[in-house]
Amino acid sequence: MKVTVLGSQGAIPKVGLFSSSLILNVCSTNILIDCCEGAQFQLRKNKIKLSKIEIILISHAHGDHYFGLIGLISTFSLMKRDKKLTLFCPLSVLKILQAHLKFSNMNLGYELEMKVLNNHTIIKILENNQFSIYAFPLKHSIYTNGFLIREKEKKRKLILEKALEKNIDKIYYNKLTKKENVINNDGVEINYIDVTKPGKKPRAFAYCSDTAYFDELINYIKGVDLLYCETTFLKKDKEKAAITLHSTTLDAAKLAKKGGVKKLLIGHFSSRYDDNNDFITEVSTIFEDVIISEEGKKIEV
């Protein structure tokens, strides 16, 4: 798993800085999470092939999280995309997109599967052989979701010298990595445990878009390897955070600590602040393993 930050800012972008968006690469699939204004420029700048994006997740209908969507979807069309694209978003974003497609009389030329999120508890929205995606409700001024992406258990790894020692035909190697016992060339059953070792540990990433802190959130993100949580405000502005239903540095740190996550990535910084290092300083008082969002930053999960 790898995260590439496309935008670090809150609602107001600055020169060279963008609102919230990131790319999650999981098992060779690129998932775009939120799509800020200018996201496609950031994708190009960071050399992420547009054709490799298969899934887009939009957390909510505030512009800083989806203003780039119409542009990106149109560019896919102009580039003669033929691969299917799956979009998960609230009904409001879907209606805006449909209105654009109608009034621009645009024939996309590729399959755009649009799935509406209207859950009010955590639900699984996609599952394949390699990973699952969940959406969970956040506490914001409009209907908003966070997302959890969890890799499935990886295949075991074959220990070749042991397999050779046990006289196993190589046509069975794949079965062994899928935890199946096999019969060797001498007619003896071989337990997969004896000739394989555990594969890479499955990883999990959670994305908390705009939200106030609430206790239930801990259960949604518990134990993930990397948690993204917005920190729009420093602690001195906690009243503003409460009014606008956003998180402060201390809210995100508390969530990371109570959730037992391994690392915390913070972003969605209000444009009122000049020095983003203050965010790290404040978070670190409660949760040490914190990373600050910066355009183009890559984080191995």
Residue whose CB is less far from Zn ion, 177 or 211: 211
CB 222, min distance to Zn ion, A: 24
**What is the amino acid identity at position 9?**
Q
Residue whose CB is less far from Zn ion, 62 or 166: 62
Burial class (CB in 10 A: 0-12, 13-18, 19+), 28: exposed
**Span of 54-62, 184-192, 235-243, 275-283 interacting with Zn ion by CB under 5 A:** 54-62
Please pick, from the candidates 34, 37, 64, 225, the single residue that binds Zn ion as defined by CB under 5 A.
64
Q: Which of residues 196-215 bind Zn ion (CB under 5 A)?
A: 210
**Span of 64-72, 113-121, 168-176, 198-206 interacting with Zn ion by CB under 5 A:** 64-72
| Residue 251 in contact with Zn ion, rule: CB under 5 A | no
- In angstroms, rounded to a whole number, what is the distance separating the alpha carbons of residues 22 and 189? 48
How far does the chain reach from its first CA to its final CA, in angstroms? 5
CB 21, min distance to Zn ion, A: 11
Q: Exposure pattern of 260-284 as b/e (b: 16+ CB <10 Å)?
A: ebebbbbbbbbeeeeebeebeebbe
Active site includes 278? no
CA 248 centroid distance within chain: 21
| Residue 263 in contact with Zn ion, rule: CB under 5 A | no
Residue whose CB is less far from Zn ion, 64 or 251: 64
**What is the amino acid identity at position 1?**
M
- Which one of the listed residues 64, 225, 237, 251 is annotated catalytic? 64
| Residue 62 in contact with Zn ion, rule: CB under 5 A | yes
| Residue 237 in contact with Zn ion, rule: CB under 5 A | no
Beta bridge mates, 112: 85
Residue 92's CB: how many other CB atoms inside 10 A?
A: 15
Using CB under 5 A, list all residues that contact Zn ion: 62, 64, 210
Residues designated catalytic: 64
